[in-house]
Amino acid sequence: MIRIKGKQINIVGGLLGWVWLAVVVVPVYYILVTSVRNQNDMFSQNLLSLPSHITFGAYRKVFQNHFLRYIWNSVFVTVVTVAIILLVTFMVAYMIVRRNDKWSRRVYKFIITGLAIPMQAVIIPVYYLIIRIGLYDTLWALILPSAAFAIPISVMILTNFLRDIPQSLFEAMSVDGASEFMTMTKLAIPMVRPAIVTVAIYDGLNVWNGFLFPLILTQSADNRVIPLSLWLFQGQFTVDTPGILAAVVLSVLPILTAYIFGRKQMVAGLTAGFSK
């Protein structure tokens, strides 16, 4: 650290910041450039240079391999899973905050205990249960376990947000004759909208990128989601790198769009709600 005109300049910190920027930007740049490069040019050109001939053949190949079907499967699984998570966890968090008694605190502690259970540790019982109830190789086999494992962290986030709402507002709603349902919909939901968006994006990203459940609980191509669909572009001896990276670019677009529209609410959700 040096001092120039009374100001301290952290040279080491600045250099590390540029290194970290390169670590983040260079892989993204490589993915975008390679996705528009011809497979034959992979070993004849510098991989970080712009391609001499830009082609979208890799993207055409991706769409020719039923990629829209896989995107639809991922969108369906993600949207339905997030909807179930928000519906269940918000009502549970609201009950915990509003009752605020011994039993509700026990319920909260029991749910939070689920954070200590990794899905890899219980994948065999989940696999057996899915087969027993006849959901194997269906999209619901991905939706239900994904929603179950997302409940603990979602309840924790929403509960902490709801606890920050002044009790005087709940009391005012009660004095005005509002029912619990009206209080929840007219007061609680608008007040914790940043937390709802945060939970939706966080859980949606986890479901969208999920690989273990699709690998274990589905088999047919009709129920394949995006992470598994990337296997289509790998051969036994060769790898279609532009095709794989084109599929990666396309798979990122839906969740990136959701983040762009909800980033303000998500930032508010990550920086508030944990004061208690």
**Sequential DSSP letters for 14-51:** HHHHHHHHHHHHHHHHHHHHHHTS-GGGTTTS-TTSPP
Question: In this structure, are residues 255 and 208 in contact, taking their beta carbons and an 8 Å threshold?
Answer: yes
Report if pTM > 0.85.
no
Looking at the predicted structure, is the pLDDT value of residue 272 above 60? Answer: no
Question: In this structure, are residues 147 and 81 in contact, taking their beta carbons and an 8 Å threshold?
Answer: yes
Q: How far is residue 248's CA from residue 229's CA, in Å, rounded to a whole number?
A: 10
| Alpha carbon separation from 104 to 94, 146, 227, 230, 263 (Å, rounded) | 10, 24, 38, 44, 32
Highest-scoring range by mean pLDDT, 34-38, 134-138, 231-235, 259-263: 134-138
> pLDDT-based confidence at 230, cuts 50/70/90?
confident
The pLDDT tens digits for 36-87 are: 888 777 777 777 777 778 888 888 888 888 888 999 999 999 999 999 999 9
CATH 1.10.3720.10 for the 59-271 domain, yes or no: yes
- Comparing C-alpha atoms, which of 234, 67, 226, 230 is closest to residue 139? 226
The pLDDT tens digits for 133-188 are: 999 999 999 999 999 999 999 999 899 888 888 888 888 888 888 888 888 888 88
Looking at the predicted structure, is the pLDDT value of residue 268 above 70? Answer: no
Q: Where are the domains of the chain?
A: 2-55, 59-271
Q: Quick one: pLDDT at residue 93?
A: 93
> pLDDT-based confidence at 8, cuts 50/70/90?
low
Total count of residues recorded for the chain: 276
Question: Mean pLDDT over residues 100-122, rounded?
Answer: 88
Question: In this structure, are residues 274 and 160 in contact, taking their beta carbons and an 8 Å threshold?
Answer: yes
Measured at the alpha carbon of residue 77, what is the angle toward residues 73 and 78, in degrees to the nearest 5? Answer: 115
